[in-house]
């Protein structure tokens, strides 16, 4: 069990550029979640997948954000036309399905938009 | 919608002091409750959890009891250490809402030697 891994860990980009983050969940986990966390705040839910199906998207996920999990394994989160307000840590997490099952987090991908 | 409220920080304690971080929740269903900890520059780690009323979660000397009557899940530790300095997040999940976690705003704990 190698845990949830995210790449890149840090990304600095210019406003208007596109960025993509990748998440590799724990191998037997069928649920995958994306969260955003800004300094001094708790993580905010963005979206989640069960296998390859995206089952819920938060209102926080504007049209510039898109997430995919094409084969039910790894996932990507793309932000198009980045804005300074997108600067945050993007956390990926995974779990199996079931009441009270633990959700395991990766170490996050820091995004700074300059 | 469901929500979690935590006591505001930062909380500063001396080593070996008693710790309480208050957490209350609002939920329409029967959620599971969690405490996660985040050390500087790292992701979140599960500290403890409870899945039904009156369950007590415990780990590393920390404990919390799921109190349905007061909709609370307060975190306690009898004797904190400098290494406990971190940000603590209370969270709930409801399988009827995909099991996603809803977090409180976090409470920063600083323990001084």
CA–CA gap between residue B9 and residue B17 (Å, rounded)? 16
pLDDT at position A1: 54
Tens digit of each residue's pLDDT (9 = 90 or more) over A49-98? 999 999 999 988 889 999 999 988 999 999 999 999 999 999 999 998 87
CA-nearest of A62, A56, A100, A69 to A83 is: A62
Chain A nearest C-alpha distance from B80 (Å): 22
Closest in B32, B43, B100 to A91, CB measured: B43
Three-state DSSP class for residue B74: coil
Measured between beta carbons, which residues in chain A are less than 8 angstroms from residue B44?
Answer: 43, 91, 93, 105
pLDDT band at B95 (very low <50, low <70, confident <90, very high): confident
Measured between beta carbons, which residues in chain B are less than 8 angstroms from residue A55?
Answer: 98
What is the 3 state secondary structure string of chain A? CCCCEEECCEEEECCCCCEEEEEECCCCCCEEEEEEECCCCCCEEEEEEECCEEEEECCCCCCCEEEECCCCCCEEEEECCCCHHHCEEEEEEEECCCCCCCCEECCCEEEEEC
Q: Tell me if A111 sits within 8 A of A89, measured CB to CB.
A: yes
CA–CA gap between residue B53 and residue A40 (Å, rounded)? 30
Report the alpha-carbon angle B74-A31-B72, nearest 5: 15
Tell me whether A83 touches chain B (CB under 8 Å).
Answer: no
pLDDT at position A72: 85
Chain A nearest C-alpha distance from B65 (Å): 15
Tens digit of each residue's pLDDT (9 = 90 or more) over B45-65? 999 999 999 999 999 999 999
Q: Which residue intervals of chain B are DSSP H helices? A: none
Q: Tell me if A5 sits within 8 A of A30, measured CB to CB.
A: no
Measured between beta carbons, which residues in chain B are less than 8 angstroms from residue A4?
Answer: 43
């Amino acid at each position: 069990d190698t845990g949830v891994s995210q790449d890149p860990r840090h990304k600095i980009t210019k406003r208007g550029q596109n960025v993509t983050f990748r998440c590799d969940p724990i191998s037997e986990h069928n649920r995958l979640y994306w969260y955003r966390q800004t300094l001094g705040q708790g993580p905010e839910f963005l979206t989640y997948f069960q296998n390859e199906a995206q089952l819920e998207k938060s209102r926080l996920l504007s049209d510039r954000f898109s997430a995919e999990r094409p084969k039910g394994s790894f996932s990507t989160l793309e932000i198009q036309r980045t804005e300074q307000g997108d600067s945050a840590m993007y956390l990926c997490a995974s779990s199996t399905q079931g009441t009270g099952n633990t959700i395991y987090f990766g170490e996050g991908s820091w995004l700074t938009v300059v | 919608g469901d929500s979690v409220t935590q006591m505001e920080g930062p909380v500063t304690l001396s080593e070996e002091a008693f710790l309480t971080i208050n957490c209350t929740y609002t939920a329409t269903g029967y959620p599971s409750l969690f405490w996660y900890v985040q050390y500087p520059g790292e992701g979140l780690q599960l500290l403890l959890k409870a899945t039904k009323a009156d369950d007590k979660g415990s780990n590393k000397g920390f404990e919390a009891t799921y109190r349905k009557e007061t909709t609370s899940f307060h975190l306690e530790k009898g004797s904190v250490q400098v290494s406990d300095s971190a940000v603590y997040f209370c969270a709930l999940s409801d399988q009827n809402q995909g099991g996603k976690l809803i977090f409180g705003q976090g409470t920063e704990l600083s323990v001084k030697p």
